[in-house]
Amino acid sequence: MSAKKDKHAPSVVFGRGIWGDNPVLIQMLGLCPALAVTNTVENSLAMGLATFFVLVCSSLLVSSLKSLIPGEVRISTYILIIATFVTVADMSLAAIVPEIHKALGAFIALIVVNCMILGRQEAFASKNPVGRSLLDAAGTGTGFMIALVMMGTIREVVGMGSFLGMPLFGPNYEPWVVMILPPGGFLTLGGILLFLAWRVQKKEQRSASTPDDGATRLEEAV
């Protein structure tokens, strides 16, 4: 009984998406936006916020309507709900911050096909009460935002020598232009994953325990 209660504790539901099951770094979901728009911190933040909004609103609607949605057409219904909120986010961004909207381009509309969002609806919001679904969506959305801002920070600092547009290293710094170009996205995420794997391995060697499955070990390591 206590284990079951632990699993549904608000802090566990919220925290799972942030680190242990981080959508980008652990589950490898939603990679397209994570690689495409993280060339500056500003873009990463805007993308993270837009995705957070869509995820939380869709989870709210799906979990409140779950008894009304017939099982056979549930996926299409989820996609329609998500697409509606994406349109709202798209138009709001275009009205409030037109430059960022232009920089993100088609990737705002492409939030519809972010597998992370559909995954949360199918795996969590369709089976859980409204409050818990909201928490889960907020946790996953925050985890996504953290991963994006992390990548955006690395790429902007190294690739342009600035953070949120403020120069950091003075005029003599020669920026690594490749980091803000497409290859930089792959290399940054690859580097982060290698670092995480290295930490897991180090932790493992220290405890020298018998091998079990990787997911639980990663949770212990971080």
Partner 1 sequence: MSEISLILVSAMLVNNFTLAQFLGLCPFMGVSGRVETALRMGMANIFVLVLTSICAWFLNTFVLEYAPFLQTISFIVVIASLVQLVEMVIKKFSPSLFRQLGIYLPLITTNCAILGLALNQSNKGYDFFQGLAYAVGAGAGLTLALVLMASIREEADLAPVPRVAKGMGLVLIIAGSLSLAFMGFSGLFTTAAS
Any idea which residue has 């985890």 for tokens?
143
Site track 113-152 with partner 1 (rule: CB under 8 A), x = hit: xxx--x----------------------------------
Phi then psi for 162, rounded to 5 degrees? -145, 165
Instruction: Pick out residues in 25-54 that bind partner 1 (CB under 8 A).
Output: 28, 31-33, 35-36
Identify which of residues 111 and 135 has a Cβ nearer to partner 1 in the complex.
111
Please report whether residue 57 would count as binding partner 1 according to CB under 8 A. no
Contact call for residue 103 and partner 1 (CB under 8 A) = no
3-class DSSP state of 6: helix
Residue with smaller CB distance to partner 1, 67 or 205: 205
Interacting residue with partner 1 among 49, 109, 149, 221 (CB under 8 A) = 109
Q: Which element (helix H / strand E) includes 163?
A: strand 162-163
Task: Give whichever of 12 and 87 is closer to partner 1, judged by the CB atom.
Answer: 87
User: Nearest to residue 180, comparing CAs of 154, 146, 145, 150?
Assistant: 154
10: contact with partner 1 by CB under 8 A = no
Gyration radius of the chain's alpha carbons: 19
- Residue 60 CA to its chain's centroid (Å): 18
Angle between helices 182-207 and 130-160 (to 10 degrees): 110
Of 9 and 73, CB closest to partner 1: 73
State the Cα–Cα distance between residues 77 and 33, nearest whole angstrom: 23
**Which residue in the block uniquely carries the two structure tokens 């982060």?**
192
Residue 185 within binding range of partner 1, rule CB under 8 A: yes
Within 8 A by CB and 6+ apart from 22, the residues are 143, 144, 146, 147
Cβ at position 126, least distance to partner 1 in Å: 17
Helix axes 130-160, 10-18, angle to 10 degrees: 30
Rounded distance between C-alpha atoms, residue 88 and residue 90, angstroms: 5
Chosen residue from 86, 100, 147, 160 binding partner 1 by CB under 8 A: 86
169 is a contact residue toward partner 1 (CB under 8 A): no
Which CB sits closer to partner 1, 165 or 190?
Answer: 190
Residue closer to partner 1 by CB (options 130, 196) is: 196
For the CB of residue 218, give the shortest distance to partner 1 in the complex, in Å. 12
Query: How many Å apart are CA 138 and CA 166, to the nearest integer?
Result: 30
Q: Which residues bind partner 1 (CB under 8 A)?
A: 28, 31-33, 35-36, 76, 79-80, 83-84, 86-87, 90-91, 106, 109-110, 112-115, 118, 178, 181-187, 189-191, 193-194, 197-198, 201
